[in-house]
Chains A and B, each alone.
Chain A
Amino acid sequence: MVTLGHYLIVSGMLFTIGFAGVLLRRNIIIIFMSLELMLNAANLSLVAFSRFQVGANGGPNYNAQVFVFFIITVAAAEVAVGLAIIVALYRARQTTHVEDINTLKF
């Protein structure tokens, strides 16, 4: 039987994969994709808790799903801004390797 704990563990594993990607990879685009993985891991646990608590009308608790909707919207805006920053950085420095981008002012 699939319990709430299974979904939470899977969500924790996905978050850990994203966390490890941020720590281990040096390509700034891969780091950005790992951030997306972490956001989606949080969404999975929110939806699992939403299904776990059956609301007054007999359906899942929709407050958590509205929250997930907001997270997806913010994540989409964040991707647009972040990729624009990466393109500007690439035009200035011709690299996406984070160890080459370690000065604050150039």
Chain B
Amino acid sequence: MSPFLFWFFAFLMLAFGAAVILNRNPIASALSLVICFMGLSALFMSLDAFFIGIIQVLVYAGAVMVLFLFIIMLLDLRVEQMRKINLFVVGGGGVVALAFFLQIYFVIRQLSIARLPFPPLRATKVDDVHSIGSLLFTHYNLPFQIIGVLVLVATIGVVVLSKRELR
């Protein structure tokens, strides 16, 4: 992938990711998150992970964000009223987040393999759906079935949570 496209999509993703937490309107945040995930999906495809990129768009930008928008509109959330901002808390949170990022940055800078470019693929075509599918049903068969049970439990849990009468 050309460096220009990498920087374009990385910048798009980070800018709209920042817009998610900077917007006061929850609907604007949710729509920014969609653009952020689109940029992330383009970065996945730049790493030859086409299947992951496509399910990122289908699952996140399609299903999850529609669920978020549905809940925001169901709860009828408007732009939140301005509360008094506790400057001590905001400053403290910012300092903690910045320290965390600097920690990641210095760890990656010391990593010697981080300076190497990506090696070229020797395969003539990328058949990642085939490879992921065969791994999923042979080597990772037990985790796959456990995930199926987890999704079933989540479905039942959501139904129980929604049906219960709250006093």
Contacts and interface: CB of A to CB of B under 8 A. Distances in A.
B162 A87 contact: yes
A103 B110 CA distance: 45
Name the interface size band of chain B: 35 or more
B64 A36 contact: yes
Interface in A1-59: 1-10, 12-21, 23-27, 29-30, 32-34, 36-37, 40, 43-44, 47-48, 50-52, 54, 57-59
**From DSSP, what is the main secondary structure of chain B's interface residues?**
helix
Contacts of B154: 77-78, 80-81
Name the interface size band of chain A: 35 or more
Given A19-B97, A24-B21, A54-B122, A69 B115 contact: no
Interface of B: 1, 3, 6, 10, 13-14, 17-18, 20-21, 26, 29-30, 33, 36-37, 40, 43-44, 47-49, 51-52, 55-56, 59-60, 63-64, 67-68, 71-72, 74-75, 77, 80, 83, 89-90, 93-94, 96-98, 100-101, 104-105, 108-109, 111, 113-124, 126-128, 131-132, 135-136, 140, 143, 147, 150-151, 154-155, 157-158, 161-162, 164, 166
Interface of A: 1-10, 12-21, 23-27, 29-30, 32-34, 36-37, 40, 43-44, 47-48, 50-52, 54, 57-60, 62-63, 65-66, 68-70, 72-81, 83-88, 90-92, 96-97
